[in-house]
Amino acid sequence: MTYVYECQNCGNRKTFSEEVDISRDKSVGFKTSCCQKCSNQECKDYAECDCFEEWSRIQMGIFLKMIKEGKISWNFFKSDYDE
């Protein structure tokens, strides 16, 4: 399973104080578990990461195959609120 988390190398992005409203000290970055690269271009760990897109493509292929084989219904995600 792939997940996203806040990059610790970018530092704290928000500070709180009784005298001052929330302030942003630095730009925040996020990393995905599959490549460990930061999304913040100012971070030393920055790099393009496409592993999540690849994982999503594979999962979609599996899902569509299951629909085609009749293992799940084509309207699997349809809710009672859909018209």
Domain ranges in the chain? 4-68
Which tens digits make up the pLDDT trace of 9-45? 876 555 555 665 555 555 788 888 888 888 888 889 9
What average pLDDT does range 39-63 have in this prediction?
Answer: 86
Q: Per-residue pLDDT for 55 more than 60? A: yes
pLDDT of residue 65: 92
83 pLDDT band (50/70/90 cuts)? low
Q: Say if strands 14-15 and 4-6 run parallel, antiparallel, or are unpaired.
A: unpaired
Q: What secondary structure does DSSP assign to 29-63, as a single string? A: -EEETTT--BS-TTSTTB----HHHHHHHHHHHHH
Q: Which pLDDT band holds residue 49 (cuts at 50, 70, 90)?
A: confident
